[in-house]
Chains A and B, each alone.
Chain A
Amino acid sequence: MVEFQRYKLENGLTVLLHQDKTTPMAVVNTLYDVGARDENEQKTGFAHLFEHLMFGGSINILEFDKELQKAGGESNAFTSNDITNYYETVPAQNIETALWLESDRMLSLAFTEKSLEVQRNVVIEEFKQRYLNQPYGDVWLELRPLAYEKHPYKWATIGKDISHIENATMSDVKSFFKKYYNPSNAILCISGNFDNSIIRKQVETYFGGIPGGLKPARINPQEPKQEEFKCKSIDRDVPANAFYYAFNMGPRKSSDYYLGDIMSDAVGKDSSSILNIALKKELELVTEISAFITGSLDDGLFIISGKLSEGISFEELDKQLWIELDKIKQTGVDAEKLIGIKNKISTAKAFQEQGLLNRSINLSFFELLGDANGINEEPLIYQKIETTDLIVFAKNTFVKTNCSLLKVCTNA
């Protein structure tokens, strides 16, 4: 059980306090309800570029990291298609430093041209390192626009194209900050070894005076229901043919998320999973195969991906894959396997909650979903899932007209 207190400041900032007297550390986690799905299609990659700029100094503080390091702390952040999340880990006695820093950059950034120019270059190098200079690195740049035609999930967090990052201007930066970086669009979660009444006063001191803005409305174009199978082939300088099947499924807050999570473990998590046994071990059609879900806040994807064995065609794989998926639609996942998956989920959860940072990020994320207490309620949702539920999920999801297939063909 992860205990917490929740309240709102007058300016609209949601605050979560999670006390843990066993650690000498503290974590200040700030989640902003903004991600790549909120970007303009002509200016993609912006939420992530902006995350970099948040470390470039704020209105009253020249160097963010320097001040934190002086207090023995460190920080980082990540951006997804849905959210942008920042955290500081500090020795508990220096928690005030983290509050000072995080509140100042919520108040206003320094907005220097130098910071913008350098971070544009850094992000371009990140783009190259992760997406261009790796075999199969650009798969998600291709798969997203195949699976999503209207919804902004059709571009990756890093952006659609390097030119979008190159062309980002200071006025873009300022208006993005103004719109999304205000207290009513944020969740602040403080975890660790502190005194509740002292921390409440400090939060009020540092965050209470930040002017509240309006929580921006989100009107994303909805993805129309897919009516026919989509397929795309690309040629790349890669060692083996690779396949990516993307099936549409429901959003994070629907039961589809839990069913999809368990189903992806059953069909493709490790060497004892259904597709590994059938397609790799028995038929030797693939050298690797795995399954996972994207878990996005709007409608997500269930992905089955892998690499073909030498001499095996995409058609052979496709035929056998559908035979296996059809079996699951008939009989589901066997009872013993389902117990094993649930047991593994319980173990993984217990280990995750060991870490103070994980607890902070998860509390913030569940609060965004509607209630931080979801962190405590979720295990029961998994335990209640039965094989009949999985059959329904399989029948709805593993349908040809619900699927987009990306083939990466080796030109070597």
Chain B
Amino acid sequence: MLDRNTAPAIQKIQKINFVEPQVLWINDSVKLLWMQDVPNETSRIDLYFNAGLRQDRNVIVSLCSSLLLSGTKQKSSTQIHEQIDQLGAYFDIGLSHEGVLISIFALKQNLLEAFCLIFDSIQEAIFPDKEIAEKVTEKRERFKISSAKVGFTAQRKFQEKIFFNTPYDELTQISDFDNISKKEIVDFHDKWIKKGLYKIAVVGNIDSKELETIRSRCKSTCITSPITYFTDFCNSPGVFHAEKKSAVQSAIRVGKTLFNKTHDDFFDFSILNTILGDYFGSRLMKNIREDKGYTYGIGSAIAETGGSGYFIIGSEVGTKHREASLDEIKKEIESLNTLSIGKSELGLVKNYLLGQMLKAADGPYAMMDLFLSVDAYSLDMEFYNRYIERIHQIHSDELKSISKKHLQWDSMSIVSAG
């Protein structure tokens, strides 16, 4: 007879086999990574350019990145996009403070051709006036729509406090869209796209000749000396609220300057962060969603930058629950600072983290992403083995002391809008 009251035995995850991509150097500063063993027809190339928001006015950087495929001397924007379609390829352009990431997705037999087409179009972009005008209108409209959202307002205020007095602290204003010269975009492109390629990652079972073509094609656009990142962040603590009368929910952002994977406390803090707000059964979710019903979701995360990082808690809560939600967030943090985490909760989080690690290492794309995520800080896959070891070993006392060290409520920037 089946006993439904007793859980089936669980097998712990002890070890995960991490596979590193091949590393080919293009010059002393630029690597080409290749994960060749893919059991299907898919493939992807990621191109990393040192052309992030920190390099110039936000509006110029963002226009440049979204106009990279807007036309060359030979081809119009429409022609370029039609050729990409013919190859059945997709691309994605992502912009952050520290870089532009262009990803190309295609079946492997079309990858090289899609790469050459997109890469050349990007390098030879001429930024036609009409394309600029159209993009400016589109971006201005999107900006207006975003500005109507409390999440956007809170996020901006939070960024202002987190990146206080650094090269990352500019906030786009609507008036910025009226003040654009083509020359600024072209100059930015010359400096940071034509000479700013700093990493290439290929996943796909293409042949080595094709890889060689990619490598030689990239060479002249690569950076020639290592990139340096700003390290000296210090958030401006305090409580800030932006009122919006018509809102039915308030957005909350709470956080502070932290660190990235290179810091000695990173593993311990990651585990602590999971307990607090990084999974469905986290303390914040359990309390503020599953017990109080104040929100549809709440979470916390560590966001990394090249030279530092920050901690953030985010949620949208019913406007009448804003104060109560902030109180509960504070209580949860204080509880981590003062009370020991129980054995069963810690055991659960350990198992959960190991399971998630196994999932994060499932397949060549996942493996490449894991590698990229450590390689950005000059670490290797051994990082994950050390993390697994740390997950197995960590005690609740150690978590309490890491919490006391980094999660003091008074050190937080506490922002709400709505």
Q: List residues of chain A with CB under 8 Å of any chain B CB.
A: 22-25, 59-61, 65-67, 69-75, 89-91, 93-94, 96-97, 100, 104, 107, 117-126, 128-130, 132-136, 205-206, 209, 237-240, 270-272, 277, 280-281, 284, 287-288, 307, 309, 336-337, 339-348, 350-351, 353-354, 356
Contacts and interface: CB of A to CB of B under 8 A. Distances in A.
B352 A239 contact: no
Contact of A100 (B7, B110, B294): B7
A65 B2 contact: no
Residue picked from A107, A120, A343, A353, most chain B C-beta under 10 Å: A343
Interface stretch (B233-241, B285-293, B379-387): B285-293
A133 B249 contact: yes
Given A91-B358, A133-B247, 16 more contacts: A69-B352, A71-B10, A74-B355, A97-B7, A118-B290, A119-B293, A123-B296, A124-B318, A129-B316, A134-B148, A239-B148, A343-B110, A347-B42, A347-B90, A347-B106, A353-B40
Contact of B7 (A67, A122, A270, A281): A67
B145 interface: yes
A94 to B, nearest CB: 6
Contact of A205 (B2, B5, B317): B2
A44 B41 CA distance: 44
A307 B352 CA distance: 44
Contacts of B4: 59-61, 100, 104, 107
A344 B7 contact: no
A94 B10 contact: yes
B280 A277 contact: no
Interface string B107-151: 100100000000000000000000000100110010011011110
30 contacts: A25-B359, A61-B5, A65-B280, A69-B355, A70-B352, A72-B351, A72-B354, A72-B358, A74-B280, A74-B356, A94-B355, A97-B7, A118-B291, A123-B296, A125-B317, A126-B296, A128-B248, A129-B316, A132-B249, A133-B249, A272-B78, A287-B141, A337-B85, A343-B85, A343-B86, A347-B42, A347-B88, A347-B89, A347-B106, A350-B40
A350 B109 CA distance: 13
Contacts of A71: 10, 351, 355
A344 B81 contact: no
Interface of B: 2, 4-5, 7-8, 10-11, 13, 16, 39-42, 77-78, 81-82, 85-90, 105-107, 110, 134, 137-138, 141, 144-145, 147-150, 246-249, 279-281, 289-296, 316-318, 347-349, 351-352, 354-356, 358-359, 361-363, 365, 418
B8 A96 contact: yes
A262 B248 CA distance: 39
Contacts of B247: 133
Residue picked from A124, A288, A336, A350, most chain B C-beta under 10 Å: A350
